[in-house]
Each structure stands twice: as structure tokens, then as C-alpha cells.
Chain A
Amino acid sequence: MIEFVQHLVNGLSLGAIYALIALGYTMVFGILQLINFAHGDVYMLGAFIGMYTSRAFHLADHPSVWALLLILFTAMTGCAIVGFLIERIAYRPLRKSPRINLLITAVGVSLFLEFSGQLVFGADPKFFPQVFSINADFSFGELKINPLQVLVFGISITLMTILQTIIYKTRAGRAMRAASFSHDLASLMGIPTDRVISFTFMLGSALAGAAGVLVGLIYPKIEPLMGSMPGLKAFVAAVLGGIGNVTGAVVGALILGLSESFLVGYGYPTFRDALAFALLILILLFKPTGLFGSKRTEKV
């Protein structure tokens, strides 16, 4: 029984991390209908920016909440800038091109970040400085809970609520929804589509940057290729929940985290990476719009 509950806890905390990445993914997809392959790599950049910031200010010597907030701030700002540049340089000129060109470019950007990351940071793994720790004990006998992961879980839910509010309760959110419905129509209504898309990209990338830092704290080994697999899994989570839907992304991520945890815990650890893609194929076959997605018809 205790083992089952422990697997449950492990799955939820892993899911919370996927959720952090999936939130940004789903927002970008929602507005551009583009799989931003580079999202996972922006998350990697976030982790590295965090590492270099903390090295520069020797933050690991005096772990505190302020240290954490400082590296979160630099990582989120840095990633927002990167996200802005990616959209401006690589995606915007191709907005009227065939989809396949945009897709190829997205793959190109992702690989460019990964390989130049290997050149700049080195291919070997780096240690992420422990700038923040919680001394509370959350364990109940055999059941062990990492307090940091409780924090990440809380942050994921909070961010989800904030995003939900931004999208449905603010003017900016209404502009985003309009732009996502149709770029041209939104422009005609006086919405600065390009600026809205840039804003969404920066918001999504900043979320990825925050995820990079938090993951670095929990799993203190970072490397240039760390983003590719979590990025893909976050995408699967987003599709599972209904792409473009922030609540769906979090629910999808938690489902993915839990199923991975149970699959590994009860006997099939080698099929862990295959599971996400099997789930993707299943959901695409039976409910392509995802659990919470709304149907949208395509016209000529």
C-alpha cells in the first residue's frame, strides 16, 4: 500500500514538472497552431542561465528565497528574450508559407539551440547549484515527499490559474483568443496580431525558463540535450489535455506523469519513453481534440 502511495506521489511530482513545460507549449500552439519544437530547448537555456547567474553572484554560498527569486527572474527574462528572437527571426517571416516549411524551421531552431548549446556549454553534464532548500520534513513514515516538489506542484497550479485568468478575463487574453481564431480577422478588428503573438511567445518562453530553474533544483544535473525528451513529453501532455487549453495541459501532464510512474514502478521501466508516444497515438486515434479540446473545422 505504501508503495502504491509513493508511486502516486512520484507520479504527481513528475507530472507537475511536465505541466510547467506543457503550459508554455500549449499557449504557443494555441495562437500559432505551430509545434514549437524549440520549446524544450528554451527550457534547457533557462536552466543554464540560472546556473551561470548563480555562479556569477555566488548564490549557492547563501541559499535563500531571494537567491531563488533572482535566478528565476534572470532565467525568465533571458528566455523571454530568446523566445521573442526565435519568433521574430525564424517564425514570423514564414507565417504565409506552407505549414511544412514552418515545421522544418521549428525543427531547425530546436537543433540549432541543442548543438550550439553543446559547443558553448560543453556536452558533459553540469551541476546545478543548490541555491534554495526547504528544511521541512514532509515524510510520513515510509512515504517520502520532497518539499521542493510540493512547491513545484503548487507553482504549476498557481500558474495555471493565473494563465486562465489572463486568457479569459483580460483584454490581452481576449486579443490572444481572437488572434488564435484567425490572424486576418483579428487584424481587421484592430488587434495588433504580431504584437499579441510576440507577447504569447515571450510568456510561454518565460514559463519554460522558470521550469528549467525549478527542474535544476530538484534534479541538479543539467546538459544541453536535457530539453528534447521532456519537451516532447510536454507536447504529448498538451495534446492529451487538448492543445491550446491550459487546464488540459496540466491535467494531461499529471496523467502522463502518473502513468509513467506506474509503468516503471510495476515492471516495464524500459518502455518509459515509448509510453508517451503510445499515448499520443491512442489519443489521436480516438479523440484527436484531446480531453478538454474544442473542435475546430478547417476550411479551404
Chain B
Amino acid sequence: MKKLTRFSALALTLLAIAGCTKKDTTTTNTNSTAASATEIVVGEVGSMTGSEATFGTSTHQGIELAFEQINAAGGVKGKKFRVITLDDQGKPDEAATAVTKLITQDKIAALLGEVASSRSLAMAPIAQAHGVPMITPSSTNPKVTEQGDYIFRVCFIDPFQGTVMAKFAKENLKIKNVAILRDVKNDYSVGLADFFTQTFTKNGGTIVVDQSYSAGDMDFKSQLTAIRAKKPEAIYVPGYYTEVGLIARQAKELGLNVPLMGGDGWDSPKLTEIGGKSIEGSFFSNHYSPEDQSPVVQKFIAEYKTKYGVIPDGLAAMGYDAAKVLADAMTRAPDLNSTSVKAAIAATKEYPGVTGVITLNEHRDPVKSAVVLKVAAGGYKYQTTVKP
């Protein structure tokens, strides 16, 4: 009994302490004078290590190239950009710590990142609370920009990308029966699959079967056998390239000679390396096509190739655009105060980016078109552009 009394005494005291001090004072706008006299410090958070390291690295190279060019051209308002890049290893809690460090220690003026929505969602509330404008290059979950008026993005959102492929399947491929194979472990894949289903069925198509796998699996034959029995005309696989190559191989082994369709997560040279001949004839939606002959795109590709020796993938282009949009807004803003920068980013109109003409709507999401590419021997062939 004595023990119990003592225990409850302690518990009550603790509760009392915790209770009497809960006052939530959100600090806003702490670093309006973030930029020093000669430079503008920009923070970047990305997955530089871990299983999604390739995405983080591509984005980082795009951002690096953009700021290099801006600085070479004299910077913004006479100041040069300096980027501080922190790694989050692909973990939401690490991303949150990294952002806090960038904002409070390095006093960044603006934040770029993250690739994946799951990390951006952990970062956004912090950037919002401290009043630091944040532009994510490629987080496609609609919830990201809903976190507050300081959060922007330069990529299209999941509902749109799902719609693009659904429209393409219906109008260009003229098919009615599609099977879905989604990666349940991956928020992006689940989102695309859901919105694809919505649009495709609304337009009169049928989803004959909805199967799933988890990233890291190596055997997909059971799913594909179940899919084969339903005789679809195409399979929508909105996963990452890491598994899609194997899925394509095993589909062919089972005699499933229908095209696969996917999203921007396919965009990697590894896709065709692992998939080999089996992946040829498949389609995926992307932010831009390296075949696009517009001068903005060709100039970017040429410069990227000189610096890194490879053709940039979609994520590099998104990183490049995010950095350019930020610099453009800072040029237009009357001063570098975070509220002015925020207002200037929100006012972005008809910015000619590599990944399309960017105009931000009232949800701070861009309204822009997507392209559909076909995987062919020796590279991706441009198919069509789908407008929102």
C-alpha cells in the first residue's frame, strides 16, 4: 500500500509539472535577416545515403548546377548563393532534425527539399513554424503544401500524374482493361494507383485486378499469375525502377506480353539495365523528356552533361527548377525578408522551367503538363504531352 501511495504521489507531481507549463508559443519569422551582406544561405535536405540515395543525389546535382549558374551570372541582388546540404538517410525524424539545424544554426533564408513526401511532411510544419519558405522539388503528395503558406512545390501532384496515365491509356493506347500492381510500402505508389483507378474507371475503363507487392521483394510471379488470369491489356505499375525491371522480366517469363505503365519513379538508367528487352514497349509519365527540343531543355541537358557526364533524370531537372524558381522569386521580391520571399514565390507565373512552364496556384502547387515516354531499345521515346 505504501508503495502505491508513493507511486501515485510521484505520478501526480509529474502530471502537475507537465500540466502547468503548457503554453504553445509558436515562433514565427525569427530570421528575417538571415541573409548576410554578401551571401544568401539556402538549406537543402535530401537522402544522400540509404536505399533512396540515387534520388537524393540526382536532385542535389540539379540544385548545385542551378546555383552555380546563378552565382556565375552575378547572383541575386548582388549576393551569391551558398547551399548547405544535410542528409536525412531517408528517415522522417532525421529530416526534422536536419531542418531544425538548418533554420536555427545556419540561419537559412529558404529551404529546398525533400524528394519524398514522407520526409517533406515531417519538415513542412517546422519550416512553417519558423517562417522559412520551403520549396520541395518532387514531393507529390497533396498534403505537403497543405501544411502552410510557406510551403511550395514545383512538381505536379499525385492526382494529376495518376490522371495522365489513365487518360493516355484510354485515349492513346485505346485500352479498356487494366491491371494494377502497386507497391504498398511506398506512399507515392499507393497515391498514383488510387488516382489512376479513379480517373480510369470514370472514363469507362475497368480495373480487372488490383494486386500489390512490397519494395524489396524479388519474386512477383504469384501476383503476375493472378493478373494473367484476368487477361488485362496493360498493367499499371507505379513503383520505383528498383522493382519494375524485375517485374517486367517475370511478366515476360509468364507469357504476359502486354505493356507496363508507370510514373516518374521509373526514371533511371537502371530500369533498362535490369529489365533488359522485357521492359521495352512500356510507357511511363515523367516531368520532362530529354528529347524535348526547346532551348531551355537542351541547354540544361548540355550543361548538366558537361558537369556530371550523364543525361539528367527527372529528379535532377526538378531540383534545378526548384532552385531556379527560388532565385527568380528572390530577384522579384522587394527585399530578402522571408515574408517578401514567400509572397514572391507564391506569385510565380509562367516561369519557363526545364520541366514545363510553372505557374503556382492558390494551393501553392504548380499547374503544368506531364509527358509520357515509351521505353525503347537505346532510350526513351517521347509519346505525348498531357495538359492539366
Q: Do chains A and B touch in the complex (CB under 8 A)?
A: yes
- Name A's B-contacting residues (CB within 8 A): 3, 6-7, 10-11, 13-14, 118, 122-125, 127, 139, 142, 144, 146, 215, 219-221, 223, 225-226, 229-230, 260-262, 264-266, 269-270, 272-273
Looking at chain B's contact residues, the main secondary structure is: helix
Determine if B273 is an interface residue (Cβ-Cβ < 8 Å): yes
- Name B's A-contacting residues (CB within 8 A): 49-51, 53-54, 184, 211-214, 216-219, 221-223, 225-226, 228-229, 242-243, 245-246, 249, 253-255, 270, 273-274
Q: A10-B225, A144-B254, A220-B246 are in contact. List 11 more A-B contacts (CB 8 A).
A: A7-B222, A10-B221, A13-B221, A124-B54, A219-B246, A226-B216, A230-B218, A264-B223, A265-B226, A269-B213, A272-B214
10 intermolecular pairs with C-beta atoms under 8 Å apart: A6-B225, A6-B228, A10-B219, A10-B225, A13-B221, A14-B221, A127-B273, A144-B255, A265-B223, A266-B226
- Cβ 8 A contact of B229, one of A3, A219, A220, A226: A3
- The verdict on A269 contacting B246 (CB below 8 Å), with A220-B274, A225-B216, A229-B216 known, is no
A50 to chain B, nearest CB (A): 16
Q: Is the CB of B270 within 8 A of A127?
A: yes
A2 to chain B, nearest CB (A): 8
- Cβ 8 A contact of B184, one of A13, A261, A270: A270
Complex-state Cα separation, A123 to B273, whole angstroms? 17
Top 3 closest A-B pairs, CB basis? A264-B222, A219-B218, A265-B222
Looking at chain A's contact residues, the main secondary structure is: helix
Chain A residue nearest to B51 (CB atoms) is A123
- Cβ 8 A contact of B50, one of A6, A123, A146: A123
- The verdict on A221 contacting B242 (CB below 8 Å), with A123-B50, A144-B254, A269-B213 known, is yes
Q: Is the CB of B212 within 8 A of A10?
A: no
Chain B residue nearest to A6 (CB atoms) is B225
B68 to chain A, nearest CB (A): 25
Q: Is the CB of B222 within 8 A of A270?
A: no
- Cβ 8 A contact of A265, one of B50, B53, B216, B225: B225
A58 to chain B, nearest CB (A): 16
Contacts of A127 in B (CB 8 A): 270, 273-274
Q: Is the CB of A3 within 8 A of B225?
A: yes
Contacts of A13 in B (CB 8 A): 221
- Cβ 8 A contact of A124, one of B53, B219, B246: B53
Complex-state Cα separation, A266 to B54, whole angstroms? 35
A8 to chain B, nearest CB (A): 10
Q: Is the CB of A3 within 8 A of B226?
A: yes
Complex-state Cα separation, A151 to B292, whole angstroms? 47
Q: Is the CB of A269 within 8 A of B54?
A: no
A39 to chain B, nearest CB (A): 17
Interface centre among A6, A7, A262, A264 (most CB of B within 10 A): A264
Q: Is the CB of B253 within 8 A of A144?
A: yes
Complex-state Cα separation, A7 to B229, whole angstroms? 11
Q: Is the CB of B225 within 8 A of A7?
A: yes
B56 to chain A, nearest CB (A): 10
Contacts of A273 in B (CB 8 A): 214
Complex-state Cα separation, A68 to B273, whole angstroms? 20
Contacts of B213 in A (CB 8 A): 269, 272
Contacts of B245 in A (CB 8 A): 221
Q: Is the CB of A220 within 8 A of B249?
A: yes
